[in-house]
């Protein structure tokens, strides 16, 4: 048995019976830096028939527009005037939707990773973590 599989079994045994059932997870969004979030959202809407799901000030400063369908989207981030000029095409984070945020956070911690940025927001809850490669993941739940 591979070491990673054995480690996963140990983690699952440590969680309660309810928690040991793997929740369904799917990529919900990718967050990228663009020079003009509104213009990029308009282009993608015209090209793919997408709609603007949300837009407003970003938690990082600047502005963000979420454009996509009812299930997934691209978060288009443009830094504000006080931030450095945007570097285009940068992947800021990958958003993953899960059914049970608490169970997933416990799994992240069990892997030796440190969740951060836990927050309740409309319409759900979230936290972030960095994987071993430095890739930032945002984990969200709307349950």
pLDDT in tens, 6-46: 555 555 555 555 555 556 888 999 999 888 899 999 988 99
Q: For the chain, how far is it from start to end, CA to CA, in angstroms?
A: 35
Residue 14 inside a domain? The answer is no
pTM of model > 0.85: no
Residue 10 inside a domain? The answer is no
Residue 101 inside a domain? The answer is yes
Residue 4 inside a domain? The answer is no
Residue 75 inside a domain? The answer is yes
Q: How many domains does the chain have?
A: 1
Residue 108 inside a domain? The answer is yes
Residue 62 inside a domain? The answer is yes
**Residue 75 to residue 110: CA distance in whole angstroms:** 29
Residue 5 inside a domain? The answer is no
**Strands 91-98 and 136-141, how do they pair?**
parallel
Exposed e or buried b per residue across 51-89, where buried means at least 16 C-beta atoms within 10 angstroms of its C-beta: ebbeeeebeeebbbbbbbeeebbbbbbbbeeeeeebeee
Q: By the 8 A CB rule, do 65 and 38 touch?
A: yes
What range defines the domain where residue 43 resides? 23-141
CATH number of the domain residue 48 falls in: 3.10.180.10
Residue pLDDT, tens place only, 44-60:
899 888 999 999 998 87
């Amino acid at each position: 048995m591979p070491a990673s599989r054995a480690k996963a079994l140990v983690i699952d045994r440590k969680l309660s019976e309810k928690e040991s059932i793997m929740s369904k997870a799917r990529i919900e969004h990718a967050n990228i830096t663009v020079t003009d979030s509104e213009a990029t959202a308009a282009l993608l809407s015209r090209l793919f028939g997408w709609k603007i799901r949300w837009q407003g000030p970003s938690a990082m400063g600047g502005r963000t527009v979420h454009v996509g369908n009812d299930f997934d989207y691209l978060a288009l981030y443009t830094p504000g005037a006080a931030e450095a000029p945007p570097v285009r095409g940068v992947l800021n984070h990958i958003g993953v939707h899960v059914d049970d945020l608490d169970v997933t956070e416990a799994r992240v911690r069990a892997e030796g990773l440190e969740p951060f940025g836990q927050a309740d927001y409309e319409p759900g809850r979230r936290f972030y973590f960095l994987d071993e490669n430095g890739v930032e993941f945002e984990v969200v739940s709307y349950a």
